[in-house]
């Protein structure tokens, strides 16, 4: 089964950017055509058909979303009136990206409005009051790596204790709202490393090659961004299965754990690794 495409939304949206993603998935005809073409081709792709098809469709729709938001950002800088912005963005979406009303099964005007609303989120930083609220109501450790705030670590850059930041679960660059529902306490290094990773399809998925044949030592060298993308993938799976938001899914799963290989008979590629407790969370993967 190809992720993201289904009868229901992939998870419960809390931001404009997520709603925009769901509109594109639900109404842009090309994703269904692409999925049907991949299914009809009877491809196996080295036992990675579902995984690679999900990656290709997810990466493609997120790429389109980023381009639409870039157009909207430029339009908002150049045109002051909201009605004129919608008119100009509609024209540019048709001409530059060639996403026309004929390609879209839903309300095209509503799509344009959601793109503009998502673009409004891009420059917004959490206020001191909102950041304080997020840190007070959130866990006392980084939601991603699990290190305790205020604690001193040998490899830490803060000799007086680990600092806290408020991390956007759905990134502002993709329309993530600056609200408590989209923020979690994170350490500065995890916040910085996560960057604009919204969905796991934005991650590097190529197989990992270790010079050291020792699995434990080899997996320790796995890039932090890959581990964070695996963590986000687990949250997406949990949220879809339980009908929750990504924020609630990340809290339910807990911080990422040391990466392990799922199928010992296969290599160290992205789809054969996990950084969560599959038994406790009931998020189980089989590389397919």
Q: Looking at the structure, do residues 146 and 201 belong to the same domain, yes or no? A: yes
Q: Looking at the structure, do residues 101 and 150 belong to the same domain, yes or no? A: no
Q: Looking at the structure, do residues 49 and 168 belong to the same domain, yes or no? A: no
β-strand partners of 166? 185
Q: Looking at the structure, do residues 115 and 136 belong to the same domain, yes or no? A: no
At 31-90, the pLDDT tens digits run 888 888 877 777 777 778 888 888 889 999 999 999 999 999 999 999 989 999 999 999
CA–centroid distance for 76 within its chain = 25
Domain contains 6? no
At residue 20, φ and ψ (nearest 5 deg) are: -65, -45
* Mean pLDDT to the nearest integer, 150-167: 74
Domain contains 4? no
Residue 104 pLDDT > 80, yes or no?
A: yes
Q: Looking at the structure, do residues 170 and 231 belong to the same domain, yes or no? A: yes
Q: Looking at the structure, do residues 227 and 265 belong to the same domain, yes or no? A: yes
Q: How many domains is the chain partitioned into structurally?
A: 2
Residue 210 pLDDT > 70, yes or no?
A: no
b or e along 266-281 (b: 16 or more beta carbons within 10 Å of the residue's beta carbon)? eebbbbbbbbbeeeeb
At 181-197, the pLDDT tens digits run 999 999 998 998 888 78
Q: Report the C-alpha gap between 22 and 245 in whole angstroms.
A: 14
Structure tokens given for 156? 């830490």
Last-in-domain residue among 92, 121, 150: 121
Q: Looking at the structure, do residues 82 and 32 belong to the same domain, yes or no? A: yes
User: How many C-beta atoms lie closer than 10 Å to residue 178's C-beta?
Assistant: 19
The mean predicted confidence, pLDDT, of the chain is 88
Domain contains 8? no
Residue 27 pLDDT > 80, yes or no?
A: yes
pTM (2 decimals)? 0.91
Q: Report the C-alpha gap between 251 and 243 in whole angstroms.
A: 14
Last-in-domain residue among 90, 121, 152: 121
What is the extent of the structural domain holding 73?
16-121
Residue 67, CB half-sphere, CA atoms under 13 Å: how many?
Answer: 15
β-strand partners of 141? 148
Q: Looking at the structure, do residues 112 and 148 belong to the same domain, yes or no? A: no
């Amino acid at each position: 089964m190809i992720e993201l495409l289904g009868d229901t939304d992939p998870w419960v949206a809390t931001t404009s950017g997520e709603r925009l993603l769901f509109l594109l998935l639900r109404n842009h005809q090309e994703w269904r055509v692409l999925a049907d073409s991949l299914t009809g081709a009877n491809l196996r792709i080295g036992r990675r058909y579902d995984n690679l098809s999900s990656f290709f469709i997810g990466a493609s729709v997120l790429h389109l979303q980023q381009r639409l938001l870039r157009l909207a950002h430029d339009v908002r800088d150049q045109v002051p009136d909201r009605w004129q912005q919608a008119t100009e963005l509609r024209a540019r979406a048709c001409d530059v990206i060639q996403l026309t009303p004929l390609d879209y099964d839903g309300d095209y005007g509503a799509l344009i409005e959601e793109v503009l609303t998502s673009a409004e989120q891009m420059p917004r930083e959490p206020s001191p009051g909102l950041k304080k609220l997020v840190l007070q109501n959130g866990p006392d450790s980084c939601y991603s790596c699990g290190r305790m705030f205020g604690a001193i670590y040998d490899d830490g850059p803060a000799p007086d204790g680990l600092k806290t930041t408020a991390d956007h679960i759905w990134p502002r660059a993709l329309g993530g709202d600056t609200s408590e529902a989209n923020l979690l306490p994170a350490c500065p290094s995890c916040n910085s490393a996560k960057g604009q990773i919204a969905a796991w399809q934005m991650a590097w998925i190529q197989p990992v090659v270790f010079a050291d044949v020792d699995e434990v030592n080899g997996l320790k060298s796995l890039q932090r961004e890959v581990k964070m993308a695996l963590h986000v993938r687990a949250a997406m799976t949990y949220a879809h299965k339980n009908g929750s938001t990504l924020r609630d899914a990340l809290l339910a799963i807990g911080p990422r754990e040391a990466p392990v290989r799922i199928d010992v008979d296969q290599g160290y590629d992205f789809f054969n690794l996990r950084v969560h407790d599959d038994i406790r969370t009931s998020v189980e993967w089989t590389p397919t």
